[in-house]
Structure 1
Amino acid sequence: MDINLRKLYELSGLDSESFSMDIEEKVSKLPYVKSVVVNHITSRAIVELISETANEKVFREISTIISNINKDILLKEIERNEPVEDVLPNNNSVEKEEIELHTSERDYHTVYQEQYLNKRRIIQLLLGTALGICGIFVESNLNIIIYIFSFLLTGEVILINSFKSFIKLKFFNQDVLIYLISIITFILGKYMDSILVLSIYQLLTYIKNYSVNEYKNRIMGIESIRCDTLNIRDNKGGILKTHWSNIRVNDVIIIKPGEEIPTDGIVIRGASLIDTSYITGESILIRVKERDEVSSGTINKTGILEIKATRLPEQSTASKVIETLKKSSNEKSSTEQFITKFSKTFAMGIGLIALILIALFPSIVGGTYIQWLYRGLTFLVLCTPWSLIISIPIVSLKGIEECFNNGILIKSKNVLEILNKTEVVAFDKAGTLTEGSYHVRKIVSKGFITEDMLLEYAAYAEFYSNHAIAKSIITSFKEISSTKVIDKSRIKSFEEIPGKGVKIYFGDRYIYAGNHKLMDQYEINYDCPNEVGTIIYLAINQNFVGYIIISDKVKETSPKAISDLKSAGVKTVIMVTGDNKKISDYVGIVLNIDEVYSELSIEEKASLIESLQTRSRHNSEIIFVNDGLLNDFILDKHYISTELNGVKSDLATNNSDILIMSDDPSKIAVAIKISKWVQGNIAKTIVLSVGIKILLLAIAGLGLASMWLTLSIEALLTFICVFSNTKTKNFSQL
């Protein structure tokens, strides 16, 4: 989608699902808005526009809507259409640094103030509740005064919020509802009920805010991998200290042991071990030396490195990982959207039942009006499904976080949600199940030319090809040849035949290099060796002159990957490849793959994947693991595209749904297991929450439990759901 049509905002002070729904409803009615998603868990809003509209107008009108709903919610745009370099001139690096410093100071004071207020409110809440309990043991003439003080002390925050809502004529607000119920309950003489309802309601709010803030802190804490200042070399070879955001492409950065690499680059001096666990999820040290590429977010462990920056910090791997993680966290999954609508409908339904209890049941069933008023008020207290509203978004965010901790980048909550339905996993062999690093294993010459000459002809033939096999032949030629140089002026013409090979006009002759299909197309007689490997046949002027055997090694983790997929519930594992049938069948047998399709061109692979989509069972999913190129050939995409070695991918343009940051295919099964855990917890939470809620409503309707007791059980249920949904598990060992 065009970035000009997408706005991302932070809503400071947003802590209520009801406010989120109100904002969504009203902003969506703006004529230029296509869709809007407001997430109260992350305090973010994503607004998609129908057409380009001035930033100021969009911001002003959305701010007005939010201000009318709640003046305490502040809107801030956190994603701009224009790059930072266009907003601030390049020579204003000091100003940029000062702005970031002041922003950090403001954020620090805001957080400190919030922590202080939270502590004050908790102490006030405990004192108010304790004072109310003391009132039970005091003589009746004095206890009413104690109860009034307790009520005011306990409900101060809700009273202030309710008063603000009344001023803005916002009567249908949860704070207003709870405070009115508490006042009526207090008037009815149920003093402790009213006090405990206020206390428990604020406890539920605290549980929600604590859970949300814990997640926010973990997500925002990811950015702490960046060191504030670092050393770079100036033009004279001296060393300067600068802020990480001032790094430019081609700057030489000095990284000491224990420091993080701030941006992507190439090692130009030094050797060291680096820890890639932040990016790949694997605590493995990798040795790097001169001319090796390194990614931001990795940590230098031993020697001093000098790195030439190849990307700006904001365009680096770590920055794009953080950006992708935040975007996936901000959106709502289809389950969350359902829970939001369900909660609204549920609350309205229970509210209607409460009114019926109060208005009609005294005359129909019998009993005093006071009794049914109390029961109706208890229904109203229970009308919000707290455990669903709080724990369902939390478990989805936990799933995204667990994937990230395992080196898996999920680009959408909906992808995480449907992963558990996966029944078919298809691999494009090279680089997924095998190393993808081809090498020349054997050269067989037939006729009048030597093996070295055969390799040279093959290198010239493959010079303009981008295929990994072609590159392996050229690399082998440069290693073996005495000249190590290819004179491309000798290549008069080049033609690539998709799925078959290449044909060049070289000097005064035609050279053909490719698989047996190429030989068959030009009616060239050739020998077919009985060996395992990728065979590249060569012919000169349609005369067969020999062949080269190319090998690719199966990854050590591939057998475990296939086994783990089967244990995760995947019914069929498929491998597609352009390699010959013999080597493909061999790999299929070694890895216990169900279906193998070999000797396919890119177009044939795309057609096969499309056919898999049509034959798959309803309500089941297909994962296709490839290098990302095939996704462009499949127009009607109904599968979950997955790419390995995402650390080397350009995350800004990558169109895969899932990125495995390492080259380990067994991570796919980990992602499926996390998805099953998320969906299992969501299902258990829904069943448990709805079941206990119905039971509590039935007990309250029969007058068998007090208001504070039913709300206490609700709070306990919410705490249990949140706690069970945030427990960390080792999914790679399951």
Structure 2
Amino acid sequence: MNKKQKRWRNRIVLALVIFIVVYAVEELGVLGAIFGAPGDLYASFALFLIPYLIAGYDVLQKAWRNIRHGQAFDESFLMTVATIGAFAMVFFPEAEPHMAEGAAVMLFYQVGELFQSYAVGQSRKSISDMMDIAPDYANIEQDGQLVEVDPDEVQVGDIIVVKPGERVPIDGVITEGVSQLDTAALTGESIPRHVEPGADVISGCINMTGMLHIRTTKPFGESTVSRILELVENASEKKARTENFITRFARWYTPIVTGAAVLLAVIPPLLGMGAWSDWILRGLTFLVVSCPCALVISVPLSFFGGIGGASKLGILVKGSNYLELLSKVDTVVFDKTGTLTNGTFNVVAIHPEAGVDPDYVLSNAAYAEAFSDHPIAVSVRQAYSGEIDQARIRDVKEESGHGVSAHVDEHVVMVGNDKLMAEHGARWHECDLTGTILHVTVDGRYIGHIVIADVVKDDAEQTIRDLHAAGVTKCVMLTGDRRDVAEAVGGKLGLDEVHAQLLPADKVSAVERLLGFERGDAKLAFVGDGINDAPVLTRADVGIAMGAMGSDAAIEAADVVLMDDKPSKIARAIRIARKTMRIVWQNIVFALAVKIAILLLAAIGVANMWLAVFGDVGVAIIAILNAMRAMRVKGV
């Protein structure tokens, strides 16, 4: 609890103690013995007024302030009118005294408000603790000394120093140092990430071991940490349709029930249907029950809890409207490269000819590709464990789209596709594996081939199974890759549809066609890397950006941002969204059902003020407790 909540709590405890003492004194007949009748009634009025004012003076102030500003119809107004009305029953001595009920209503209303404040604070804390990634300073080196400066003062291209235990304040590239980075606050991933010179690092990560020198690539205001904090802070502004409905409902509901309570208190006695005191008490009870705080508080709190719970797992949802849409997703469309696959080429197989050592095939290919920056060439060099002596290489010729040739130790080495082989009259043969095939010849003799492929992510297959288990009826992959490669990936993962050899515009058309098949409230989600898939992310009902650490395009275009590259988070995000919506509707149905029942009982005179207290405060507390379940995502 913060200091304000503690003062609030202490005030309520004091009022509660006084209330219990006064109530005991009244029930034991002490007031009657001292003051007689009707003096005991006025003494009771004065004594119960003390805990009432201690507990509720701020509610009375708020109600008066709102009335002056023309915004009367809120829960403060309802509580004020109902409780003052209960005390005003002193003017009807023939009726039972209701000062105790008036004080109790205010007391328990304040207990409920305090509990609600605590619940909202806990929900906000779960986000702020997880997102406690905003650095207070950045270290720069001046005259051989480290100086702490405001991160806003650091320019793009400046070198900052991050010591072990400190957070990386600004996005950049490591120029010096080797370390482990804790990315848990951003990704929910507990395993540290190894970094060394040349590695990109993003703000918000914690440097764990060695000192790092980082050249900044963005100003602080545009770095990952700033963008994420802005995203989280703005999430509450984008309300779900259900949340907006509750807000509009309360706006109309409150004046209607206030008017109904007035009519209930006035019309029947005017028609001679009973004593004024009875009907006024029914009207006051009706007012207490009608307070919509259970709905007005628990529904936004449920959404806020769902967003906070998701953020603990490194899933950032831009608003409760997207959480609601996500709960209705029945079709998930994936980009392939970087989403279901790692997006980097790897040597997956080496097939030498008979009598040839596989290392001989790989070493010749690595030497021939020594000077190329093509991703395929890089993957070949990474697979080769030896050092490449560039002095052994000369006369390198790149043949665009076909491959490369080079002299290595006076031998002519050719590495490339079947077109290169055919062009130079070399003998070669096909491979059964799916991927990019690099044929290798030495002095015109075919020595074998290397298979290079974009490797499927470890959890991609499980992702599709989890999505189907979660009720997603169709998982589709769109890719610009070759059809045979796409179908091989689709078959391995168990996808329902695969569409290959698509340009970016074709992907938008494919998504629009799939959207045309959606029926009722069903929604379509597109999952991409957030950079070249921005048009499709925007077109889908829900755009989900994968592996978006530091990607401005992802944070801008997507509705849901996954802070690591694990597609398995998608099924968890959908389950969190559905759990949140279940909680929202549980609260709506429960609160309305109880209130309608007690309102009817109050109208016919069966419900007393104590039942009204439960109908308001009790229902609110139960709904808030239920809403807080949305924050628990451990087993989701």
TM-score by length of 2: 0.81
| Aligned: 1:325 with 2:215 | no
CA 1:555/1:142 → structure 2, altered by over 3 Å: closer, same or farther?
Answer: same
| CA displacement, residues 153-195 of structure 1 (integer Å, 9 cap, x when unaligned) | 4233333334445665765554344323322222224111211
- For 1:344 and 1:245, the matched residues in 2 are separated by 43
The residue number in structure 2 matching 1:212 is 120
CA contact under 8 A between 1:443 and 1:455: conserved in structure 2? no
Q: Give the superposition deviation at 1:374.
A: 1.1
Partner of 1:382, secondary structure, is: helix
| Aligned: 1:705 with 2:611 | no
The residue number in structure 2 matching 1:180 is 81
Q: Give the superposition deviation at 1:406.
A: 0.6
CA contact under 8 A between 1:428 and 1:626: conserved in structure 2? yes
The residue number in structure 1 matching 2:340 is 433
Partner AA of 2:46 in structure 1: I
The residue number in structure 1 matching 2:518 is 616
The residue number in structure 2 matching 1:196 is 104
1:536-551 superposed matches below 5 A:
549-551=451-453
Match of 2:324 among 398, 417, 421: 417
Partner of 1:622, secondary structure, is: strand
| Aligned: 1:148 with 2:148 | no
Partner AA of 1:154 in structure 2: Y
Q: Give the superposition deviation at 1:384.
A: 2.1
Partner AA of 2:85 in structure 1: I
Q: Which stretch of the first structure deviates more once superposed, 558-567 or 468-477?
A: 468-477
CA contact under 8 A between 1:132 and 1:195: conserved in structure 2? no
| Aligned: 1:225 with 2:117 | no
1:393-472 superposed matches below 5 A:
393-440=300-347
| Aligned: 1:139 with 2:34 | no
Partner AA of 1:197 in structure 2: V
Q: Give the superposition deviation at 1:587.
A: 2.3
Q: Give the superposition deviation at 1:703.
A: 1.6
Structure possessing the higher relative contact order (Cα contacts under 8 Å, 6 or more residues apart): 2
TM-score by length of 1: 0.71
Partner AA of 2:15 in structure 1: L
What is the aligned residue count? 597
Partner of 1:188, secondary structure, is: helix
Partner AA of 2:140 in structure 1: I
CA contact under 8 A between 1:320 and 1:651: conserved in structure 2? no
The residue number in structure 2 matching 1:277 is 184
- For 2:366 and 2:513, the matched residues in 1 are separated by 39
CA contact under 8 A between 1:124 and 1:154: conserved in structure 2? no
1:538-687 superposed matches below 5 A:
549-634=451-536, 637-650=539-552, 654-687=556-589
CA 1:729/1:386 → structure 2, altered by over 3 Å: closer, same or farther?
Answer: closer
CA 1:128/1:626 → structure 2, altered by over 3 Å: closer, same or farther?
Answer: same
CA contact under 8 A between 1:275 and 1:299: conserved in structure 2? yes
Q: Which stretch of the first structure deviates more once superposed, 621-630 or 385-394?
A: 621-630
Partner of 1:578, secondary structure, is: coil
Q: Give the superposition deviation at 1:397.
A: 0.5
The residue number in structure 1 matching 2:432 is 531
Match of 1:159 among 50, 60, 65: 60
Partner of 1:125, secondary structure, is: helix
Q: Give the superposition deviation at 1:717.
A: 1.6
| CA displacement, residues 583-615 of structure 1 (integer Å, 9 cap, x when unaligned) | 333322322222222333434333222211112
- For 1:485 and 1:205, the matched residues in 2 are separated by 79
CA contact under 8 A between 1:534 and 1:551: conserved in structure 2? yes
| CA displacement, residues 119-148 of structure 1 (integer Å, 9 cap, x when unaligned) | 453244324433442342332334632432
CA contact under 8 A between 1:131 and 1:147: conserved in structure 2? no
CA 1:267/1:195 → structure 2, altered by over 3 Å: closer, same or farther?
Answer: same
- For 1:390 and 1:641, the matched residues in 2 are separated by 29
- For 1:171 and 1:733, the matched residues in 2 are separated by 44
CA contact under 8 A between 1:433 and 1:554: conserved in structure 2? yes
1:278-293 superposed matches below 5 A:
278-293=185-200
- For 1:485 and 1:172, the matched residues in 2 are separated by 86
Partner of 2:495, secondary structure, is: coil
| CA displacement, residues 344-400 of structure 1 (integer Å, 9 cap, x when unaligned) | 222233223323322333466933232112111211222222211110000101111
Partner AA of 1:390 in structure 2: I
- For 1:338 and 1:115, the matched residues in 2 are separated by 30
CA contact under 8 A between 1:625 and 1:643: conserved in structure 2? yes
Q: Give the superposition deviation at 1:437.
A: 0.9
Q: Give the superposition deviation at 1:299.
A: 1.4
- For 2:178 and 2:132, the matched residues in 1 are separated by 25
1:472-491 superposed matches below 5 A:
483=390
CA contact under 8 A between 1:640 and 1:657: conserved in structure 2? yes
Partner of 1:225, secondary structure, is: coil
| CA displacement, residues 659-714 of structure 1 (integer Å, 9 cap, x when unaligned) | 11111100000100000001100111111111111111122122222123222342
- For 1:125 and 1:595, the matched residues in 2 are separated by 66
Partner of 1:721, secondary structure, is: helix
Partner AA of 1:657 in structure 2: D
| CA displacement, residues 473-513 of structure 1 (integer Å, 9 cap, x when unaligned) | 798899998659999x9999x9xxxxxxx699x9xxxxxx9
Two-structure CA RMSD over aligned residues (Å): 4.2
| CA displacement, residues 596-638 of structure 1 (integer Å, 9 cap, x when unaligned) | 2233343433322221111223321112111224544559813
- For 2:26 and 2:40, the matched residues in 1 are separated by 10
- For 2:452 and 2:254, the matched residues in 1 are separated by 67
CA 1:226/1:637 → structure 2, altered by over 3 Å: closer, same or farther?
Answer: closer
Q: Percent identity?
A: 29
CA contact under 8 A between 1:257 and 1:300: conserved in structure 2? yes
- For 1:723 and 1:485, the matched residues in 2 are separated by 73
CA 1:640/1:354 → structure 2, altered by over 3 Å: closer, same or farther?
Answer: same
Match of 2:19 among 122, 129, 132: 129
Unaligned runs of 5+ in 2: 33-38, 91-97, 354-360, 406-415, 422-426, 440-445
- For 2:121 and 2:392, the matched residues in 1 are separated by 60
Unaligned runs of 5+ in 1: 1-107, 495-501, 507-512, 520-525, 539-544
The residue number in structure 2 matching 1:81 is none
Partner AA of 1:191 in structure 2: M
CA 1:443/1:210 → structure 2, altered by over 3 Å: closer, same or farther?
Answer: closer
- For 2:459 and 2:194, the matched residues in 1 are separated by 20
Q: Which stretch of the first structure deviates more once superposed, 120-129 or 604-613?
A: 120-129
CA contact under 8 A between 2:525 and 2:540: conserved in structure 1? no
The residue number in structure 2 matching 1:334 is 241
CA contact under 8 A between 1:135 and 1:146: conserved in structure 2? no
The residue number in structure 1 matching 2:209 is 302
Partner AA of 2:593 in structure 1: G
| CA displacement, residues 267-315 of structure 1 (integer Å, 9 cap, x when unaligned) | 3333222211100011111222222222221112233333333333332
CA 1:223/1:673 → structure 2, altered by over 3 Å: closer, same or farther?
Answer: closer
Q: Give the superposition deviation at 1:412.
A: 2.5
CA contact under 8 A between 2:159 and 2:214: conserved in structure 1? yes
CA 1:146/1:636 → structure 2, altered by over 3 Å: closer, same or farther?
Answer: closer
CA contact under 8 A between 2:137 and 2:169: conserved in structure 1? no
Q: Which stretch of the first structure deviates more once superposed, 631-640 or 662-671?
A: 631-640
- Pick the structure with greater CA Rg: 2
CA 1:586/1:217 → structure 2, altered by over 3 Å: closer, same or farther?
Answer: closer
CA contact under 8 A between 2:73 and 2:254: conserved in structure 1? no
Q: Give the superposition deviation at 1:729.
A: 6.4
The residue number in structure 2 matching 1:389 is 296
CA 1:135/1:405 → structure 2, altered by over 3 Å: closer, same or farther?
Answer: same
CA contact under 8 A between 1:270 and 1:290: conserved in structure 2? yes
Match of 1:261 among 168, 191, 204: 168
